[in-house]
Structure formats: C-alpha cells, structure tokens
Amino acid sequence: MSEEERKELSEFVFKDFREDKRFEKLKGKQDKTASVDAISIYNTKSTSTPDAERWDYALDSYKKYKCFEDESYKIEKGFLFYDSIKITADVLTGPNEIITLAKQCGKCDADSLKLFWSVAYTAGNLCPVMKNPGGRKGKEGGVDTCWHKLERFLYPKATIRKISSAYIDSKGIVINHLGRRTAENMFCLFPNELVQEGVIENLMLSDYKVPLNLKSFETGTDFLDYCSRLIVKRGIRIYYKSKVDNLYLDKLADELINEKKKELQDSAHA
C-alpha cells in the first residue's frame, strides 16, 4: 500500500461525520470552560438539527457500498432513495449505549474512551436502514446495539422482503412516512429478497455476527477497545467495498488504531 493510499484510508476510516458547519455551530454554543466530550455536545443539539447520519459525508459513504452503486439508488435531501422509496440511516450501535454497557464491565480507561469517541460517528458505525427500532430501554441497555438489531430483525433463515414490496400499501401507494413503518422491516433495503447472509454481506456486518457477551470482558476498557476495533474494521471494509482479506484486515485495523491512539495522546499533551 502506498503512503498516499494509507493516508486516504485512515482519513476515511476516522472521518467524524459531525465535522461540518452544523457541528461547529453546536460546539460554538458550548461553554468553553466546561469539560464536555464530542458525543455530549452532539447529543445536546436541537431536535431541529438533522442527525449526523444524514449529513453529506455520511451520505457519500453509503454510496461506497457495492450494493448501493446501482443507479436506481439516489441521494437527495438527507436520504438515500431507491426509486421513490425513502431510506434513512442510523448508528449501528448508539454511543451512549456503548458507554452504559462498558461501565457495567468495570473501569473505563480515559484513553479508550477518547478512542471510542473518535470513531463513534465514523463510516464504520453508521448504516442505511428502513426504520430505526428505537433507543435504549431500561438501565441495563443493550437494545440500541448492532448485535441486538441483528438478533431481533435479521435472524437465521429469515427471508428479508424486497424493497419494492416492503413499503407499498394495499392501494399501491409507497409509504415514505417513517412513523408508519415498523422496525421489523429495518433491513428491507434491496430490490430482491435476501436471507441473513445476503444482508450481512451487503452491509458488511460480518464482524458483528458473534453474539455479545459482556461477561467475557474483564473491564470496561476491554469492551470499549473491542467496540472501537469493530467500527474501524467495518470502516476498512466499506473503503475497500468488502474486498479485503480478513487476516490483512485485522492487521491493518490494529495498525490504524495504534496510530490513532498516538495521535490522540500527542494532541492531549500539545
């Protein structure tokens, strides 16, 4: 890999979708003396401000998916469209959810928190969906995670309906009102019926197929590092449109993460 390609890959994988004029305005409203992280700032935004997964850089990243290269898919006004059917987007795993779950595992190292904050709104953690199933419910958390969504809405041997039939009512009218959709059809994004493996391949979710077991992590730091690594790996998959060897992917993800950690440490001491 050339130095230029390596730089381009790193910029893509770690590009924070909130880094545009809308987020700059949000940061400008914060008390500069307050100790707040980027996620906290973003989460205090006005409800009139569209979610970062609909901002331009996020939309551009969705068009890098091989499955959305078809000219029938269009980007317009903060949405991905297939013909006239509106497709929204969501974070695969809610950042607040991850921090809640990490605290259940034990102590969370500050450096691991910074790393996770730096990847929470990058290409690897955002994904087009037909309906966001909703956020965390209860103190234990776990609902707003990719693992839960796959288990609940993409179980083995289930056939996912094709997009042309998923949101057309009995009168033949396309249902584009998000409030009228159900989360059960969140993965109905494609013009043909697919089983679980087809959706996972299209959306590059293979690293999330292993069920989440919080008891396997000794500390919150371990869990945060695990989640950050999954996000980075998926970002690399998106960049290469899934054409990347798994062994090479693991090595490359570790190298990029180590470089990012050093960058974060250097900036903290600057």
Residue whose token pair is 């839960």: 148
For residue 157, give the 3-state DSSP assignment.
Answer: coil
pLDDT score at 228: 97
The rounded distance, in Å, linking the Cα atoms of 27 and 30 is: 5
> CB–CB of 144/42 below 8 Å?
no
The rounded distance, in Å, linking the Cα atoms of 260 and 225 is: 12
Q: How many CB atoms lie within 10 A of CB 75?
A: 15
pLDDT score at 109: 94
Determine the distance from the C-alpha atom of residue 186 to the mean position of all C-alpha atoms in its chain, rounded to a whole number: 14
> CB–CB of 13/232 below 8 Å?
yes
pLDDT score at 28: 57
β-bridge pairing 159-160 and 79-82: unpaired
β-bridge pairing 194-195 and 159-160: antiparallel
Q: Give the dihedral of Cα atoms 245, 264, 227, 51; nearest 10 deg.
A: -100
Burial group, residue 5, by CB count within 10 angstroms (0-12, 13-18, 19+): exposed
Instruction: Tell me the pLDDT of the chain (270 aa) as tens digits.
Output: 899 999 999 999 999 887 656 566 655 555 554 445 666 666 666 555 667 787 778 888 999 999 998 889 998 888 899 988 999 998 999 888 899 999 999 999 999 999 998 999 999 999 999 988 765 555 556 788 999 999 989 988 888 999 988 888 888 888 888 888 888 889 999 999 999 999 999 999 999 999 899 999 999 999 999 999 999 999 999 999 988 888 899 999 999 999 999 998 887 776
> CB–CB of 23/52 below 8 Å?
yes
pLDDT score at 46: 59
pLDDT score at 23: 60
Contacts of 125 by beta carbon, 8 Å cutoff, 6+ apart: 91, 92, 93, 119, 231, 234
Q: Give the dihedral of Cα atoms 193, 196, 200, 201; nearest 10 deg.
A: -60
The rounded distance, in Å, linking the Cα atoms of 73 and 102 is: 37
> CB–CB of 187/201 below 8 Å?
no
Read off the amino acid at residue 29: K
At residue 4's C-alpha, the angle toward residues 125 and 260, to 5°, is: 45
